[in-house]
Structure 1
Amino acid sequence: MASSLTSEFRVKGYKVVDSGSDKYAFDLVAAKGEEVVAVKVVEHIDRSVRRIADDLRKLGSSLDLAPLLVCHEGASSDSLSTYRGIPSLSYDTFKRLIKGEEVPFIYFSRGGIYVKIRGEVIRYKRRERNMSLGELAYELGVSRRMVYAYETGRADATLEVASRLVRTFGEEVVETLSLKTIHEHFNSQQALLRRSCPTTRVRDPLLRGFLRVLEELGYMRYLLEKAPFHIAAGKREEGHKLLIRKAGEEDELENRVTVDVARVCHSRAILVTRRSEDALMNSHVVRIPE
């Protein structure tokens, strides 16, 4: 199924990197310009994908990309769910998104089902009709304070309120699903969840040393369990992103995937290895002998 998504992405002009293995937390990373997504296709979401979701979240936080679980079973059609902080969509809905079809941004959250709305459009439409906050609040059956929250992007609408907004102003007040809006949604949910990896829990002295140096330099850094590289790190305010891999003697595929993912994510790969093959030498790679 992941191969089908790879084809869809390439048709739309994305650069795609295949992870090369089902054991990793992502099947592919796709990028077009500044838009980057890491996708894992699963049959259904349960405790068996917990570690996958955790590593996807680490990749999203450190590399500033949109992590996404795409599932065949258990995902509500046309609605975005969240598992351990990771957005998830049904396979069919995600294919529609890649093809450019307009799908309303409906998502599950604590307390119910919500619709992501375009606050600036609501404000423009309200003022265009010379409606006050109070008048629109009465129309929607909510408070003036809630209307203000809608217009300033501080709150999304319930399904019922969203339906009233559409009847009042038209469908353009509803945000549509896209990789960009999914990425923004992920970031908004992660604000309180970002935690770097405690260096005291890392047994490998080399990786522990990298994590300690990155911490001193102010990077958000994570040790990964289910990726072809061992550390992902980023400093968002400066746009610095790193992938670090401690390479073995027969890890050519993992080295290549690490380098290719770094390239499409606009980051730099650090390979710690004794080898010096020219094939991997480029501006994205820093090779450090063990």
Structure 2
Amino acid sequence: MQMQLVESASLALLNEGCIVKTLSGPFEIIARDSKRILFVKVLEDANSISEEQAAEFRKISSCLNVPVVIVANKAGSKLEDGVVYERFGITTMNLKTLRSCLRSDAPVIMRSKAGLTAEIDPVRLRQERLARGISLGRMAEYLGVSKRMVVEYEAGTSRITLSRAEALYSIFGDSVFRKEGIKSEAGTQYPEGRSVFARKYSSLGFSAFETKRMPFDLIAKRDRKRVILTKVGDRPSPVLTGISRLIGAFRLAIVGKDKPKDIPSLTRKEFMEFEDAKELLKFIEDFEEEHGE
């Protein structure tokens, strides 16, 4: 059943113009188009993800600025079409909703503890209100809320219930609602790693974050365009290459003795001898150029 869902999700992404890579790793699918990169975790039941695993996914999403989405048929009960859920902070939806989000052709409806809520575009809401000459007080009367609540809507700090969203729609149409239900964890701050390799990266001017149960052990960021996914150990997974290629990151293996021929590799001693980030990046770039990657 899961394999069928993976195939269906891959096809949906391909039909929307994405380059798609299926993996036997933490994510079943990586997709990329001109606007975004997306990690997709495919599950029959979204409730099967653990809190620890979700926390790791959120960390990866933030460090790489790549959204993670769970595509599932159910979360205990069947997932509703057109509704976006969350599982431990990870955006969750069924396949039909994924298609809608990729096309950005419908307002985002969220299922939360407060029930069904709509996602407002706070900037557009304020722009549209001012363009129509509607005061905060008058808007509050339309929606049946306080002026303070309208301010919160326009600040993006509060979701709106469906009944109030319908009132808002009657005034502005769908222009004031968010239509992209897939978000990354960008902006969330995570502590840097404390391993000897993470500290070495830090000394070279990188921000280095350690990962768990991933095809890479470290994410080293010089800036948004210079990211090194690093595997420590003698058997780097081929999944590392697939991920790095699709997200446009560098890859590096830090090994004991035997260096694999298909990935830039350094022994621990060689890695620790680097004194300049540019030299390390040049080593990786030269390898990729020499091997036609």
Shorter chain as denominator, the TM-score bin is 0.7 to 0.9
1:48-67 correspondence runs (5 A): 48-67=49-68
Match 1:288 to one of 266, 278, 282: 266
1:36-75 correspondence runs (5 A): 36-74=37-75, 75=79
Match 1:113 to one of 111, 116, 121: 116
* Higher RCO (C-alpha 8 Å, min separation 6): 1
Matching of residue 244 in structure 1 with residue 225 in structure 2:
no
- Contact 1:196–1:222, Cα closer than 8 Å, also in 2: no
1:246 CA drift (Å): 2.9
Instruction: Name the Cα RMSD after superposition.
Output: 2.7
1:36 CA drift (Å): 1.0
Matching of residue 15 in structure 1 with residue 19 in structure 2:
yes
SS of structure 1 residue aligned to 2:183? helix
Residues 144 and 93 of structure 1, relative CA distance in 2, 3 Å threshold: same
- Contact 2:232–2:253, Cα closer than 8 Å, also in 1: yes
User: C-alpha separation between the residues in 2 aligned to 1:220 and 1:87?
Assistant: 25
SS of structure 1 residue aligned to 2:151? helix
Number of residues of Structure 1 aligned to a counterpart in Structure 2: 258
1:49-85 deviation per Cα after TM superposition (whole angstroms, max 9, x unaligned): 4444233222202111001111111234322221122
User: C-alpha separation between the residues in 2 aligned to 1:148 and 1:48?
Assistant: 36
Q: Which amino acid aligns with 1:45?
A: A
Matching of residue 28 in structure 1 with residue 29 in structure 2:
yes
Partner of 2:158: 155
1:89 CA drift (Å): 0.8
- Contact 1:247–1:271, Cα closer than 8 Å, also in 2: yes
User: C-alpha separation between the residues in 1 aligned to 2:242 and 2:250?
Assistant: 10
Residues 6 and 13 of structure 1, relative CA distance in 2, 3 Å threshold: same
Q: Structure 1: state its 5+ residue gaps.
A: 200-207
User: C-alpha separation between the residues in 2 aligned to 1:198 and 1:276?
Assistant: 25
User: C-alpha separation between the residues in 2 aligned to 1:234 and 1:106?
Assistant: 34
SS of structure 1 residue aligned to 2:32? strand
Q: Which has the larger radius of gyration?
A: 2
User: C-alpha separation between the residues in 2 aligned to 1:76 and 1:123?
Assistant: 30
Residues 50 and 121 of structure 1, relative CA distance in 2, 3 Å threshold: closer
SS of structure 2 residue aligned to 1:271? strand
User: C-alpha separation between the residues in 1 aligned to 2:68 and 2:202?
Assistant: 23
TM-score calculated relative to the size of structure 2 = 0.76
Q: Structure 2: state its 5+ residue gaps.
A: 269-293
User: C-alpha separation between the residues in 2 aligned to 1:101 and 1:93?
Assistant: 10
Partner of 1:202: none
TM-score calculated relative to the size of structure 1 = 0.77
- Contact 1:62–1:241, Cα closer than 8 Å, also in 2: no
Partner of 2:282: none
Match 1:103 to one of 93, 106, 124: 106
1:202-241 correspondence runs (5 A): 208-215=195-202, 217=205, 219-225=207-213, 227-234=214-221, 238-241=224-227
1:82-105 deviation per Cα after TM superposition (whole angstroms, max 9, x unaligned): 11221111223113434x262321
Partner of 2:190: 195
1:169-180 correspondence runs (5 A): 169-178=172-181
- Contact 1:62–1:235, Cα closer than 8 Å, also in 2: no
1:185-206 deviation per Cα after TM superposition (whole angstroms, max 9, x unaligned): x44xx73xx433663xxxxxxx
- Contact 2:192–2:207, Cα closer than 8 Å, also in 1: no
SS of structure 1 residue aligned to 2:123? helix
